[in-house]
Amino acid sequence: EVKLVESGGGLVQPGGSLRLSCAASGFSFSSYWLSWVRQAPGKGLEWVANIKQDGSEKNYADSVKGRFTISRDNAKSALFLQMNSLRADDTAVYYCTREGRVVVVPADWGQGTLVTVST
């Protein structure tokens, strides 16, 4: 069974930093693209970033480019999102997703971790 468990969310002040983690199990971690998708309270889904199997390709939404960094540790089956210069509009539930084998589209989702940026 594919399992994705996010952690690291919490309350942070504007301008602060936070590092999200996603622990994966139940599949061959190094064989899949992975991504982060977020959802602000009461709003729709927003793609944040994705990363290729070996980490050689990373893509970001314009809204986070230059502030967020996606990375992975294939030896530990872990995905990360380093978030710097956080703003109030980064407040959201952040989901870790495993992409499909055939196309880079989420096939499996974690339960999400809430990030709140506020004074």
Partner 1 sequence: DIQMTQSPSSLSASIGDRVTISCRASQGIRNSVAWFQQKPGKAPKSLIYAASTLQSGVPSKFSGSGSGTDFTLTISSLEPEDFATYYCQQYNIYPITFGQGTRLEIK
Q: Binding-site residue total for partner 1 (CB under 8 A)?
A: 23
Binding flag, residue 47, partner 1 (CB under 8 A): yes
- Beta bridge partners, 10, equal 115
Closest to partner 1 by CB, 16 or 55: 55
User: Binding to partner 1 by residue 113, rule CB under 8 A?
Assistant: no
Q: Residue 88 or residue 104: which is nearer to partner 1 going by CB?
A: 104
Query: Is residue 40 within 8 Å of residue 92, measured between CB atoms?
Result: yes
55 touches 71 (CB < 8 A): yes
By DSSP bridging, strand 92-99 and strand 68-73 are unpaired
Nearest approach, Cβ of residue 119 and partner 1 (Å): 27
Q: How many angstroms from the chain centroid is the CA of residue 27?
A: 18
Separation between Cα atoms, residue 119 and residue 116, nearest integer Å:
10
44 binds partner 1 (CB under 8 A): yes
Site for partner 1 in 67-106 (CB under 8 A): 95, 100, 102-106
Q: Is 26 in the site for partner 1 (CB under 8 A)?
A: no
Is residue 5 a contact point for partner 1 (CB under 8 A)?
no
- The sign of the CA dihedral 10, 93, 117, 77 is positive
Instruction: Please report, as ranges, the residues that interact with partner 1 according to CB under 8 A.
Output: 37, 44-47, 50, 59-62, 95, 100, 102-112
